[in-house]
Structure 1
């Protein structure tokens, strides 16, 4: 709404400049401003209204049995991301939440300590984003323990990072 008001003001100002200046340069300036305004009204509201879909917190989940590393980066990164995605969505009082958190923290530490040694892996965008996510989740576990769910703001940020990781892994990056 604010953007549209600014655009309307720019159009009015351009119209004033059109009548005050010579016809050729005024027309050119008006058309440039009007085309900018038209593009802004079409593009900006779509960008501003884009929302991240955050899944509901869950009290029920499938406790994974595939903990640990396979030492194949793509498989391990996808697995750690999937486990972190599940952990991020857990609500307070979820069944075996503490066990899940402990297993996940060990898996995250093993993942980072193994793969950061390899420059060809450590330079990938998927690794750096996953490393950031791991630091956020591990820091939460260290500060608050395994029984407390993540705050909404932190969960939202992590879900954004998980989406980026998934895109990067699909592109083998």
Structure 2
């Protein structure tokens, strides 16, 4: 990550080095921000600790699962968000040829649409990090269903991203956020 930031800043550092002003520059706040040497700022920026993304273990796809019977909303946000998240985790882990995969996908898509269309109307809920992250993952899974249908499993890269988002939703829900 630090290397990619350094590579992005490299053209600015070299441009400033070859076009360095020869006159003394006044150092008030505004002029410092516009004329400060990137060669001095870049090493300081690169030494800052960057937040590491938590590595999430992506389970193998499986054809066996317990088909849920608790479809639909209860209109209690935390309970509904947890239920939708759990159903999405099951859907993300399904392998090609799973039993009732198409029925499961159709039920899940309806539940996801109902969840989003109901809860996005409330600013107190729509502003929560758990809602926005879950909304993002719902869009990813619903987009997969729209593009590829209900019979095809998610590709590995998309599965990894979704499992990371599910972990974030879980953390946010535990904090009542």
RMSD: 2.0
Tell me the secondary structure at the aligned position of residue 91 of structure 1. coil
Count of aligned positions: 132
Please show how residues 111-130 of structure 1 align to structure 2 within 5 Å.
111-130=115-134
The corresponding residue for 1:22 is none
Please show how residues 73-88 of structure 1 align to structure 2 within 5 Å.
73-88=77-92
The corresponding residue for 1:131 is 135
- Alignment TM-score, normalising by the size of structure 1: 0.72
Deviation at 1:147, TM superposition (A): 0.1
The corresponding residue for 1:152 is 156
The alignment status of 1:172 with 2:176, answered yes or no, reads yes
Which structure has the highest helix share of the two? Answer: 1
Structure 1: 5+ residue stretches without partners: 4-39
Instruction: Give the Cα–Cα distance (whole angstroms) in 2 for the partners of residues 77 and 141 of structure 1.
Output: 20
Instruction: Give the Cα–Cα distance (whole angstroms) in 2 for the partners of residues 88 and 140 of structure 1.
Output: 11
Deviation at 1:167, TM superposition (A): 0.2
Instruction: Give the Cα–Cα distance (whole angstroms) in 2 for the partners of residues 126 and 113 of structure 1.
Output: 16
Instruction: Give the Cα–Cα distance (whole angstroms) in 2 for the partners of residues 79 and 168 of structure 1.
Output: 15
The corresponding residue for 1:58 is 62
Larger radius of gyration: 1
Tell me the secondary structure at the aligned position of residue 133 of structure 1. helix
Tell me the secondary structure at the aligned position of residue 51 of structure 1. coil
Instruction: Give the Cα–Cα distance (whole angstroms) in 1 for the partners of residues 64 and 100 of structure 2.
Output: 10
Tell me the secondary structure at the aligned position of residue 146 of structure 1. coil
> Of the candidates 68, 72, 80, which is equivalent to residue 72 of structure 2?
68
- Alignment TM-score, normalising by the size of structure 2: 0.70
Deviation at 1:56, TM superposition (A): 1.2
The corresponding residue for 2:96 is 92
Instruction: Give the Cα–Cα distance (whole angstroms) in 2 for the partners of residues 141 and 131 of structure 1.
Output: 15
Structure 1: which 4+ aligned runs deviate by more than 2 Å? none
